[in-house]
Structure 1
Amino acid sequence: MLAKIHIARKDLSLDEDAYRGLLRRVAGVASSRDLSDSQADAVLAELKRLGWKPKAATRAPAERADLRMVYALWGALHAGPLDREALRKWVQQRFSVSAPEFLKPAQTREAIEQLKAWQKRLKDPAR
């Protein structure tokens, strides 16, 4: 949270006096290192009220091994080029999120298990 506060301070171009004044006014402290979690939340809320907009975290799918596994299993199930739209629809139906990138870790593990089971059924149709 401290990192976010410092990023917001920089993005809003707050000088030292304005920043320290904000900390005193909102949380009653002189330094961000003295903030409790709830005070840090209040400071972030004030920075947002002043116009700071946090940038969305953008991690490429390749950075998440579990997500790469979902794509690999999907690709193995559907010979040919990876049909991302079909994968998105499948994820939407089962997990109510619009794309695999929005799956929570537990949901991603569940998706992997479902895709593995699907693969197994295709290999052994008698089951």
Structure 2
Amino acid sequence: MSHSRSAKNTRHKLLGLIHLAVKRQGLSDTDYRAWLEREFGVRTSAKLNEAQLHSVVNAFRSSGWLDGQARGATGGEDRPTAGQWAKIAALSRELGWDGLEAPGLQKFVERVTKLSSPRFMTRAQARNVIAGMESWKKHRESNSKAQP
């Protein structure tokens, strides 16, 4: 098999995993495309390079989007929405952390929710984490503007 064909197969598999994760989470096309644009500057995963595709798949895996059944398929669990996960990931990066698995985020979630990991959050707890992160971000921004 040629290198080009192998790369094409890898790309095809990564795109399939991304679409599977998006479908499992019930993420709307509009929300997904907005997230792609915010994170990578494109509105379609077809325009991502292979490294970016790997980055998206790894982020989805670390958030549990590619594990087992689709969320909600286990009997009405009150799990965070895909939009909430995307917002937490984006705020995490804005606060200087490295996405959903960052130790700083883990500690923040533990302080806010008393849970050992973000993956155990409910939707309500995710709302509290997002509100706390937004508040912290605003506080940091206002303090940086006040500095001469």
Please, what TM-score do these two structures have when normalized by structure 1? 0.41
Please, what TM-score do these two structures have when normalized by structure 2? 0.35
